[in-house]
Amino acid sequence: MTAPSGRARTLVRVFTQRFTSTRRGARLARQLALVELDAWGFPESTGLSADAGLLVAELAANAVRHGRVPGRDFELKLTLLEGFLRIEVSDARRDRRPAVQPHAYGAESGYGLRIVDAVAADWGVTERIVGKTVWAELARRRPPAEPF
């Protein structure tokens, strides 16, 4: 994997899991991401884990709400690199490309990508053969403790 600066990043860990495209699947994705990050040395009390949980929740909710295709799951992938945590959520719809939109004052929804844009160091969308992947990256603040 190459950083935007062109420097290679050293891969540390990867976690991939598919979930049903339901609200329950989105909740489970966030919970399992936090469990995995804890196993990697980032307990829920750390800023990285809290930010990652927020990003997974928003991206998974968007995949369920806007990217759902009946009978298809969405996929969560966490990639821990030397300086970054990359979060990827893939769904089966290619026709709905996410973008931060102007928003009406007092609206009850539509803030998800604004949150992603504010929290992530970088984010974007890549197309797949079937569907798309929305990714976000968080800068690692310090190296994780070695697991027992």
CATH architecture of structural domain 11-139: 2-Layer Sandwich (3.30)
Task: Give pLDDT, residue 72.
Answer: 87
Give per-residue pLDDT as tens, 15-62.
999 999 999 999 999 999 999 999 999 998 899 999 999 999 999 999
Half-sphere exposure of 134 (CA within 13 A, CB side): 28
Closest CA to 13 of 77, 71, 72, 76: 77
Report in angstroms the alpha-carbon separations of 73 from 19, 37, 63, 82, 104: 6, 22, 9, 29, 31
User: What tens digit of pLDDT does each residue of 49-73 get?
Assistant: 999 999 999 999 999 987 777 778 9
- CB neighbour list of residue 97: distance below 8 Å, 6 or more residues apart: 125, 132
- pLDDT, one tens digit per residue, over 79-137 is 999 889 999 999 987 775 555 555 655 544 556 788 898 999 999 999 988 889 999 99
Q: Please tell me the predicted confidence (pLDDT) of residue 141.
A: 64
Q: Is 107 left (phi over 0), alpha (psi -120 to 50) or beta?
A: beta
The pLDDT value given to residue 107: 46
What's the confidence (pLDDT) of residue 148?
44
Please, which pLDDT band fits residue 1 given cuts at 50, 70 and 90?
very low
pLDDT value of residue 8? 58
Of 41 and 9, the structure prediction assigns the larger pLDDT to 41
Note the pLDDT of residue 7: 52
Q: Is the pLDDT score of 13 beyond 70?
A: yes
